[in-house]
Each structure stands twice: as C-alpha cells, then as structure tokens.
C-alpha cells in the first residue's frame, strides 16, 4: 500500500534522529499516512535515544486515544506501522527521508552521504534544520535537485506550520511537490528563500533578544517582561517561557551570533543568555496562576520597545525577499502563536508602526528601519494581506481561499476579497476560466465566521449583512467566463453558497461529509443565496430538508442530487483546470444556472422533525424558500436578505450564536422558539 500524490508513490518514510523533534515528526507521519499502509521508520545510532523516542511517541498515541483524537484501532495501526531502529540499512526503500539530527553541518553532511548510498535516486531528501542553508547542508550530495529544507515547529505533531526552503540547486519540481504534499497531509507549508535562519526563527529569536536586552537594561524583570510580551502580542506564552519550553537556549545562542554576520550587526548573543547556557539553567518566569505586578510606565516602555523591535524584524525579512507578506503573516500566527506583525501594524496604523521602529533603531545601533515599513508608514498605507491566493495555469486562474486556522471560514472581508479576485480575473484578457478551491484537505469553506455574525444587533443590520455577502457572491455568479468550484473538503453555509454561485462544482471523491447548510443550528437562515440557489440545483423539497434539518450530505449524495457534476479521485484542482478549459473551448457544454422564477413550487413543505431547532427560525426558512423561489433569482435573493434580517430580530438568533461561541459547534442551543 502507498500514498500517491502528484505522480509520486510513498510507501515508506524515514526520520533520522530520535531526539527532541524526530519522534514528533514520526508521530505526525504515522498518524496521517498509516491509513494508507505507509511505514514510518526512525533511525538513530544511540539506543537510549531510540528507546526514549519510542516511549515518547507511544505515550502521545495513548493520550490521543484517551482524548478521543483517534480510536484504539487507529492507534494500533499507527504503532504497528512505525519502527525505531539503529540499522541504517532499514532506510532502503524509503521514498521520503527527513533528517532531524543535531544542528551541525558536518554531522548532517555525513548523514546525507550515507542516505544517498541507500535510497533510490527518486527519493526526496529533506532536512529539518532550523537555521542552516540548504546549500550548506547538501553541499556534498550527488543529486542536489531532490533536496531541500522542511522546517517544523514545536510541537511538530501539532503545529501545522512548515517552512519549505529551497536551495539554489533544488528543482522547481521538488519544491512544488513538497509544498503540495505537505498541504495534502494536513500541514500549512510556506515557501521561503534560502538564508541562514529562514523567515520565522529570526523573529522568535530576535524578539527573545529584544526581551533579554530589556532585562539587561533594567526595564523590568524577566517575569515582568515575559508577561508584557505575552499580553502585547497575544501569545500563548511569553518569549522567556517559550525558550524554556523549547529548550532553545543553546541553539539560540549559536543562532544570534550567526545572525550578526548573516543578517545585521544588531544581532548578538547577550551575556545573560551566555550565562544561562553555561549554567544549563532556565529563565525565571511566572508560575501557574502567579500574578506579576507591572507599573503602567514599565508596561508602556516594554510594550513600545518590543513592538518597535518586532515590526522592524519582520520588515527586514520582507525587504530581504525571503517570503511574501501574506505567507509570512500566516506563518507567524501559526508557527509562533502570536499576533501577526502586518495585521498588527495595520491595526495600529503603519505611520505609528514606523514611529516605533524608528524609535527602536535610534536606541539600538545597527538596527535597520525596513524600506517596506518606511514606504507604507510615510503614507499611513496598510499592508495588503491576502486570504485569497491566485496562480494561473494555461489561461485558467486558480483562486485558493486560505485561512487554515478557521478551516477557510468566511467573514465580510474575505467575501469582498473573493469578489475582487473574480472581477480581476474577469478583466484579465489572458484568463479564460476560473477555478475556486480551498486550502488544505479538510475544508473548501467551513462556513461563515460566527464572531462576525454575532455582532449583528438589529433587523436592519441583519438585512444589510446578508446583502453585503450576497453582493459578493452575486459577483461570482455574474462572471461570464466558466467558473468551477473544486470542493477539496467540506463546504458548509457560506461555503456551499459560494460554490453554488459558480457555473459548476466538482468534489474530492470519498467525502462522507461534503455539503450542508447548518445555519439553523445558529438560530439563523442561509443569507448568501442558499435558500434560492440550492432549490434550483437539487429541487425545492431536497433543499428545504437540508436547510431545515441542518444535516449535511456526502459527496456521493451530492452527485446523485446534481449539486456536483463529478467526484475526483486525486488532483481535484488539476481536474478543475481541465474542466474550466473544456468549458471555455466548447469541448464541454456550458451549464449556467437558470435564473428565472421556478415553476411548480409547492404551496407548503412536508412535515419535518427538527428536534431542538428553533420553530421560529424554521418558519422563516420555509417562507424564504417557498416565496423566494417563485421569484426570479435576483428578486428571490433580495427576499432572502429580508428574511435574514427578520431572523436577526429573534431571541433564538442571539441564543444560537452565543451558544456556538461559548460552547462550540457540538453544543445544542436552548432555543425558546421566538
């Protein structure tokens, strides 16, 4: 058995190194690849490391069973297909090798020399280095084109982010395959240009350095600085605590000294860090539930200093051309679990951000003021941060909604960005068709961001919110060029409404849960055209049952109902591009939705058991469908907006949205039916 992706078959993966991160990388691989029968092996020359690594992995799998993350059967399969060995000959047959040994270029070079003699020339070889350039690691490799760095973040089995760093010799095919493969197995990869430390570690280590400097200057204790750092950047833990948890003192001490020559002269290893490394000691940080007092003056000094350093560090990375603003912003949020710098600069104003960076640079020799912050700050112009990415394939624009932390959920800003991208493609004479898809393997779009819905306070606001979403979705439906929604995963709420605005839809094969309109669970109704487009595609009674019951349907049922035109076995985006081309060239007949009033709309809907759901909301759903479908599509959608406004005036709307926010999607709201 094997995992097949874009023409490459993976039957065995190998991880070199059973230290701090290797077993966690192996755990992730066996979790996602064992269902395909893929073997994972961990190789280390030290038996104690192997024993510890195996015990660590086994313990985490057992905890996963206890937490219901996976079943005992899944756990047994995971453990059966992972092995720990000191025999390098066991690498034979590996299709992907990830080296996760100590950060030492001579050691890594020896490891890859041995690996190359054991695996086929088609095997892909990557290093989980945190700093070293691919050109350094793979300098002595015979086939450099199939090499690169894939940098994982702590904890590797749960942190979704990976940096994919190509060396000068890495082929485009290798880099592209790695990006696509890691997305397919559930990670969030970003491409990063080669430079010592890559894009994200200089931020983690640079912010820590700024904290250490503040402590050495007497601006506060490490406890106080840690607390202000955590609060300022909405971090899970402050920089000193993060360093303790990751055991990062030794590698950071080396990295900061290297950055002095590799990046700029502001970087250096502070004396306090040298002392901690020599003592093998942790930083003093607050204990659990310990309250740390910080004066307002201290807080302001620490906060402004750290913001200036943070913004400047991030701007330098962008100036260096290592990564795009959008990729970098997402990478910071996911990998480092903190408020992304460019979002933060937009919120405080880029003019203020520039002032903070200039002030920090004035106090710290050799700290640069980045050109990107200068250019935006002078005009107080916000940075563009894309949630919808575009790439073109042979005249077909592929648009990808990428919000992995919320499974590509939509808020009004993303709705408007989608509309803008479609209009941009419509104006582009080189584009003859558009494919819309979602990032990752779980979701096309998981629905609307409930926090944005919960802000609606009145009937008028509700109707206006619906109209705003409809306006963007209507832009998609108005495009005359062929549009294909490639449903890579579930499409709920606004997601399926958006997909239905495309000319046609295809779905990844085998999805047991594909499409649903679960709005009634929240005490609302579909507000982006769902009550009108779904009946036109699957029939009034089927659509009404889906909307009123909130029960999703599988890909197989969606195909039978006519909601999607086909299920796709492997490369769904590739198939979407082909279909858009075929529609554009006339090879396949166009299939745009009939926008006239529907005929034979029933006067009433069949009785349906709706369980705990709101009877008041259900009555509005029925009205929206039955009256709206008798109108031309444009008028029916306008009527839906009025009904959405009406439902926002109910008590059950407030109960439903608040229940979701406070208790999560599995909790049933206690509706009062009014």
Q: Does 256 lie in the same domain as 225?
A: yes
With 90 as the cut, is the pLDDT of residue 450 above it? no
| The pLDDT value given to residue 440 | 95
Q: Does 58 lie in the same domain as 8?
A: yes
| The pLDDT value given to residue 623 | 98
Q: Does 178 lie in the same domain as 251?
A: no
Q: Say if 671 falls within a structural domain.
A: no
| The pLDDT value given to residue 621 | 98
CB 508 within 8 A of CB 566: no
Q: Does 208 lie in the same domain as 188?
A: no
Question: Of 135, 166, 193, at which residue does a domain stop?
Answer: 193
Can 519 be counted among the known catalytic residues?
A: yes
Q: Does 227 lie in the same domain as 188?
A: no
Mean pLDDT of 172-177: 97
Please tell me which residue in 497, 503, 567, 646 is annotated as part of the active site: 497
Q: Say if 527 falls within a structural domain.
A: yes
| The pLDDT value given to residue 202 | 97
With 90 as the cut, is the pLDDT of residue 451 above it? no
| The pLDDT value given to residue 146 | 97
pLDDT, mean over the chain: 96
Q: Say if 50 falls within a structural domain.
A: yes
Give tens-digit pLDDT for 592-621.
Answer: 999 999 999 999 999 999 999 999 999 999
| The pLDDT value given to residue 448 | 83
Can 116 be counted among the known catalytic residues?
A: no
Residues near 182 by beta carbon (within 8 Å), at least 6 away in sequence? 150, 162, 164, 188, 189
Q: Does 607 lie in the same domain as 477?
A: yes
Residues near 138 by beta carbon (within 8 Å), at least 6 away in sequence? 112, 125, 127, 144, 147, 167, 169
Question: Of 193, 209, 232, at which residue does a domain stop?
Answer: 193
In three-state secondary structure terms, 395 is coil
Q: What percent of the chain stands above pLDDT 90?
A: 96
Q: Does 476 lie in the same domain as 367?
A: no
CB 163 within 8 A of CB 198: yes
Q: Say if 436 falls within a structural domain.
A: yes
Quote the number of domains for the chain.
Answer: 3
Count of C-beta atoms within a 10 Å radius of residue 601: 15
Q: Does 276 lie in the same domain as 168?
A: no
Mean pLDDT of 463-486: 97
Helix residue spans in 162-295 (DSSP H):
172-184, 201-217, 222-232, 239-246, 249-262, 271-279
Q: Does 178 lie in the same domain as 36?
A: yes
Lowest mean pLDDT among 333-347, 371-385, 575-589, 659-673: 659-673
In three-state secondary structure terms, 323 is coil
| The pLDDT value given to residue 314 | 98
The C-alpha angle 369, 370, 375, rounded to 5 degrees, equals 110
Q: Does 437 lie in the same domain as 368?
A: no
CB 579 within 8 A of CB 484: yes
The domain of 433 spans 388-663
Give tens-digit pLDDT for 411-438.
Answer: 999 999 999 999 999 999 999 999 999 9
Which structure tokens are listed for 388?
């919808």
Q: Does 361 lie in the same domain as 463?
A: no
Mean pLDDT of 61-66: 96
Q: Say if 18 falls within a structural domain.
A: yes
Residue 665: pLDDT band with limits 50, 70, 90:
confident
pTM value? Answer: 0.93
Residue 216: pLDDT band with limits 50, 70, 90:
very high
Q: Does 475 lie in the same domain as 538?
A: yes
Which structure tokens are listed for 602?
């029933």
Residue 277: pLDDT band with limits 50, 70, 90:
very high
CATH number at residue 65: 3.40.50.720
| The pLDDT value given to residue 454 | 85
Mean pLDDT of 367-390: 98
Residue 570: pLDDT band with limits 50, 70, 90:
confident
Q: Say if 668 falls within a structural domain.
A: no
CB 659 within 8 A of CB 566: no
Q: Say if 673 falls within a structural domain.
A: no
Please tell me which residue in 163, 463, 503, 519 is annotated as part of the active site: 519
Give tens-digit pLDDT for 476-532.
Answer: 999 999 999 999 999 999 999 999 999 999 999 999 999 999 999 999 999 999 999
Question: Of 135, 168, 193, at which residue does a domain stop?
Answer: 193
Rounded to 10 degrees, the C-alpha dihedral 100/106/112/118 comes to -110
Q: Say if 230 falls within a structural domain.
A: yes
CATH number at residue 312: 1.10.1040.50
CATH number at residue 472: 3.90.226.10
């Amino acid at each position: 058995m094997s995992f097949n992706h874009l023409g490459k078959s993976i039957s065995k993966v190998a991880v070199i190194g059973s230290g701090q991160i290797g077993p966690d990388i192996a755990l992730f691989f066996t979790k996602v690849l064992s269902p395909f029968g893929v073997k994972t092996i961990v190789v280390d020359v030290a038996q104690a490391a192997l024993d510890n690594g195996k015990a660590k992995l086994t313990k985490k799998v057992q905890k996963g069973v206890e937490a219901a993350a996976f079943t005992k059967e899944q756990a047994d399969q995971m453990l059966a297909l992972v092995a720990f060995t000191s025999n390098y000959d066991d690498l034979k047959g590996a299709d992907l090798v990830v080296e996760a040994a100590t950060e030492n270029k001579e050691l890594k070079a020896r490891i890859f020399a041995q690996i190359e003699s054991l695996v086929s020339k088609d095997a892909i070889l990557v290093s989980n280095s945190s700093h070293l350039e691919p050109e350094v690691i793979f300098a002595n490799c015979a086939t450099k084109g199939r090499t690169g760095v894939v940098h994982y973040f702590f904890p590797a089995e749960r942190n979704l982010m990976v940096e994919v760093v190509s060396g000068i010799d890495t082929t485009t095919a290798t880099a592209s395959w790695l990006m696509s493969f890691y997305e397919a197995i559930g990670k969030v990869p970003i491409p990063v240009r080669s430079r010592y430390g890559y894009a994200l570690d200089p931020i983690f280590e640079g912010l820590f350095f700024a904290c250490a400097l503040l402590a050495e200057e007497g601006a506060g204790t490490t406890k106080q600085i840690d607390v202000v750092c955590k609060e300022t950047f909405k971090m899970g833990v402050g920089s000193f605590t993060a360093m303790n948890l990751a055991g990062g003192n030794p590698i950071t001490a080396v990295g900061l000294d290297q950055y002095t020559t590799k990046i700029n002269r502001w970087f250096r290893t502070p004396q306090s860090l040298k002392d901690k490394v020599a003592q093998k000691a942790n930083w003093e940080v607050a204990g659990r539930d310990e309250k740390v007092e910080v004066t307002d003056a201290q807080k302001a000094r620490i906060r402004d200093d750290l913001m200036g350093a943070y913004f400047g560090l991030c701007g330098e990375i962008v100036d260096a051309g290592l990564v795009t603003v959008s990729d970098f912003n997402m990478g910071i949020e996911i990998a480092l679990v903190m408020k992304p710098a460019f979002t933060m600069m937009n919120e405080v104003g880029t003019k203020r951000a520039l002032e903070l960076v200039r002030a920090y640079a004035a106090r710290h020799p050799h700290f640069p003021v980045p050109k990107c912050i200068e250019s935006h700050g002078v005009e107080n112009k916000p940075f563009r941060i894309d949630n919808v990415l575009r790439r073109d394939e042979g005249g077909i624009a592929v648009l990808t909604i990428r919000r992995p932390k919320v499974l590509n959920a939509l808020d009004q800003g993303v709705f408007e960005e989608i509309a803008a991208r479609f209009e941009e493609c419509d104006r582009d004479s080189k584009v003859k068709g558009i494919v819309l898809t979602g990032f990752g393997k779980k979701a096309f779009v998981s629905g609307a961001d409930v926090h944005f819905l919960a802000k609606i306070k009145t009937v008028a606001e509700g109707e206006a919110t619906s109209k705003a979403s409809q306006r963007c979705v209507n832009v998609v439906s108005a495009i005359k060029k062929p549009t294909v929604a490639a449903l890579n995963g579930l499409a709920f709420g606004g997601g399926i409404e958006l997909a239905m605005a495309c000319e046609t839809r295809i779905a990844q094969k085998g999805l047991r849960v594909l499409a649903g309109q679960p709005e009634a669970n929240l005490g609302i109704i579909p507000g982006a055209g769902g009550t009108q487009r779904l009946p036109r595609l699957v029939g009034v009674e089927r659509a009404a049952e889906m909307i009123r019951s909130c029960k999703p349907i599988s890909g197989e049922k969606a195909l039978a109902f006519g909601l999607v035109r086909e299920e796709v076995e492997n490369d769904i985006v590739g198939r979407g591009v082909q279909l858009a081309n075929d529609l554009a060239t006339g090879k396949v007949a166009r299939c745009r939705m009939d926008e006239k009033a529907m005929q034979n709309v029933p006067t009433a809907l069949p009785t349906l058991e709706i369980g705990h759901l709101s009877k008041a909301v259900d009555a509005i759903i029925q009205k929206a469908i039955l009256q709206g479908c008798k109108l031309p599509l444009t008028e029916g959608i306008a009527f839906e907006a009025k009904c959405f406004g009406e439902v926002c005036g109910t008590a059950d709307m407030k109960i439903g949205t608040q229940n979701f926010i406070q208790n999560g999607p599995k909790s049933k709201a206690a509706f009062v039916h009014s």
